[in-house]
């Protein structure tokens, strides 16, 4: 039997009550520069958002062959905590409430492409993908920024989302709508399938899905935020990201894809506003802070996150 060698690193950034810490269990194949970038990215999250109580998120962190065009992928367990929009991942529930729903198991598990030409440094080359940005992206998914509705309108448990068979969805899902209005899923767990079936494959622009969280709308100039809804549904990408084609790959961490040379290295106000809609508190930037945004250096091969 082959024994998996892992290394644990506890990152703790004490901000105030509700501080979120990350305990990384690094696989043996994860190089030192990747570990350092992961720790730095986690610190970015810890210094920007808080939950309701101090907590530590346990993260299994590995490199793996994920296939062509895929930078990274995360896996979590989901639990029904009650209510129409009470389906929560273990990472989200623990980050928000401090309650551990899966005992000694890792709260989240993240794999990164072993065949990707990663850039780990503050400045990356035009033919590299930002490891820091990808870590940010995947962790944010695991602590709440995720849909729990399938192309058919079904929930994670197979309920159809109809009057006869109402669904149970994630907190993110309560803010979904089309270009006309929000509330595409009712408080009773019923999906407006006429609107949903059209918008979920509506493409870029007014025919797709939008996010109607009040904080996100405020950060977006009072407008609902366009989501990634390509005309062919993409499992794992559709719905749960900002519209890459509209906003661009280097605009926000939570767009659906990244390009070589993109190196944002920060959670944007729009990224953070969605997390605020999901129940987190956003830590204000110090008045004297200055932010450096490194723009994308080239637009070459795009890979999905």
Residue-level pLDDT, tens digit, the chain, 305 residues: 333 333 334 444 444 578 999 999 999 999 999 999 999 999 999 999 999 999 999 999 999 999 888 899 998 999 999 999 999 999 999 999 999 998 889 999 999 999 999 999 989 999 999 999 999 999 999 999 999 999 999 999 999 999 999 999 999 999 999 999 999 999 999 999 999 999 999 998 899 999 999 999 999 999 999 999 999 999 989 999 999 988 888 889 999 988 999 888 899 999 999 999 999 999 987 654 433 332 222 222 344 56
Rounded to whole angstroms, the Cα distance separating 27 from 35 reads 10
Torsion-angle region of residue 48: left (phi > 0), alpha (psi -120 to 50) or beta? alpha
What pLDDT sits at residue 304?
Answer: 52
The answer to the question of residue 251 being in a domain is yes
What pLDDT sits at residue 305?
Answer: 60
The answer to the question of residue 1 being in a domain is no
Q: Which domain holds residue 231?
A: 6-304
The answer to the question of residue 291 being in a domain is yes
The answer to the question of residue 37 being in a domain is yes
The answer to the question of residue 99 being in a domain is yes
The answer to the question of residue 297 being in a domain is yes
What pLDDT sits at residue 204?
Answer: 87
> DSSP characters for the chain?
-PPPPEEEEEE----STT-EEEEEEEETTS-HHHHHHHHHHHHHHHTTEE-SS-EEEEEEEEEE---TTB-EEEE--EEE-SSTT-EEEHHHHHHHH---SSTTS-SEEEEEETTS-EE-SSS--TT-EEHHHHHHHHHHHHTT----B-TTS-BTT----SSSS----BTGGGGEE-SS-S-SB-TTS-B-HHHHHHHTT--SSTTS-EE--HHHHHHTTTSPEEB---SS--TTTSSSSB-HHHH-TTS-TTBSEEETT-B--S--HHHHHHHHHTTPEEPPPPTT-----B-------EEE-
What pLDDT sits at residue 285?
Answer: 76
The answer to the question of residue 35 being in a domain is yes
What pLDDT sits at residue 286?
Answer: 66
The answer to the question of residue 11 being in a domain is yes
What pLDDT sits at residue 284?
Answer: 87
Rounded to whole angstroms, the Cα distance separating 120 from 88 reads 31
Residues in CB range of 70: below 8 A, 6 or more apart: 113, 303, 304, 305
Question: What's the number of domains the chain is made of?
Answer: 1
């Amino acid at each position: 039997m082959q024994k998996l060698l892992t290394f644990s690193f506890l990152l703790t950034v004490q901000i105030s009550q509700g501080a979120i810490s990350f305990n990384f269990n690094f696989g043996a194949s994860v190089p030192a520069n990747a570990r350092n970038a992961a720790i730095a990215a986690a610190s970015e999250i810890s210094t920007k958002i808080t939950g309701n109580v101090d907590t530590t998120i346990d993260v299994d962190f590995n490199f793996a062959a994920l296939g062509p065009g895929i930078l990274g992928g995360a896996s979590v367990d989901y639990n029904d905590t009650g209510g129409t929009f009470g389906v929560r991942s273990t990472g989200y529930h623990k980050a928000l409430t401090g309650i551990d729903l899966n005992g000694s198991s890792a709260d989240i598990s993240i794999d990164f492409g072993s065949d990707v030409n990663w850039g780990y440094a503050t400045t990356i080359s035009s033919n590299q993908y930002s490891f820091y940005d990808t870590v940010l992206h995947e962790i944010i998914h695991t602590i709440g920024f995720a849909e729990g509705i399938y192309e058919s309108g079904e929930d994670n448990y197979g309920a159809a989302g109809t009057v006869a068979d109402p669904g149970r969805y994630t907190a993110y899902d309560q803010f979904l709508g089309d270009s006309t209005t929000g509330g595409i899923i009712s408080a009773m767990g019923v999906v407006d399938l006429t609107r949903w079936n059209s918008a979920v494959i509506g493409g870029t622009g007014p025919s797709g899905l939008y996010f109607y969280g009040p904080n996100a709308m405020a950060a977006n100039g009072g407008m609902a935020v366009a989501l990634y809804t390509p005309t062919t549904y993409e499992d794992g990408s559709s719905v749960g990201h900002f519209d890459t084609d509209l906003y661009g790959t280097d605009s926000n961490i939570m767009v659906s894809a990244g390009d070589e040379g993109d190196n944002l290295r920060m959670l944007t106000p729009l990224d953070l506003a969605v997390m605020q809609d999901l129940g987190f508190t956003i830590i204000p930037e110090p008045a004297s802070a200055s932010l450096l945004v490194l723009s994308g250096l080239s637009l070459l091969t795009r890979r999905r996150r």
